[in-house]
Amino acid sequence: MNAFLVQQPYIMAIFGVALISPLDVRSGDKKITEIVSQEIIGKIPIKARVLKKQQWLPESLEISPDGKRIAYVERSSGGWRVVVNGSGGPVYDGIGVGFAFSPDGRRFAYKAFKGERSANVIDGKEARFYSNVMIPVFSYDGQHFWYIAAESTNYFLVMDDLERAIEAEPLSSCF
19 and 80: one domain? Answer: no
> pTM here?
0.68
> Are residues 115 and 41 both part of a single domain?
no
Q: What confidence score (pLDDT) does residue 98 get?
A: 86
Helix (H) or strand (E) holding 98: strand 94-101
**Pair 44, 64 in one domain:** no
Q: Are residue 48 and residue 58 in the same domain, yes or no?
A: no
Q: Domain ends where: 15, 31, 53?
A: 53
Whether pLDDT at 8 is above 80: no
Of the pLDDT bands very low, low, confident and very high (cuts 50, 70, 90), residue 168 is: low
pLDDT of residue 77: 87
Could you tell me if 44 and 51 are in contact, meaning their C-beta atoms sit under 8 angstroms apart?
A: no
Contact in structure between 107 and 84 (CB atoms under 8 Å): no
Q: Percentage of the chain with pLDDT > 90?
A: 55
**pLDDT, average across residues 152-175:** 80
Say if residue 11's pLDDT is above 90: no
Claim to verify: residue 89 and residue 141 sit in the same structural domain: yes
Lowest mean pLDDT among 26-30, 53-57, 141-145: 26-30
Same domain, 74 and 142: yes
CB atoms within 10 A of CB 10: 11
Tell me what the mean pLDDT of segment 135-153 comes to: 94
At residue 46, does pLDDT exceed 90? no
Give the pLDDT band (50/70/90) at residue 10.
Answer: very low
Q: Which domain holds residue 111?
A: 54-175
Query: 40 with 63, same domain?
Result: no
Mean pLDDT of the chain: 75
At residue 56, the pLDDT reads 79
What confidence score (pLDDT) does residue 3 get? 26
pLDDT of residue 58: 82
Long-range contacts of 79-84 (CB under 8 A, 24+ apart): 82/110, 82/112, 82/121, 83/49, 83/56, 84/108
Total count of domains within the chain: 2
The verdict on 97 and 123 lying in the same domain is yes
Spatial separation of the C-alpha atoms in residues 84 and 61, rounded to whole Å = 10
42: nearest Cα among 1, 100, 6:
1
Question: What is the per-residue pLDDT for 59?
Answer: 84
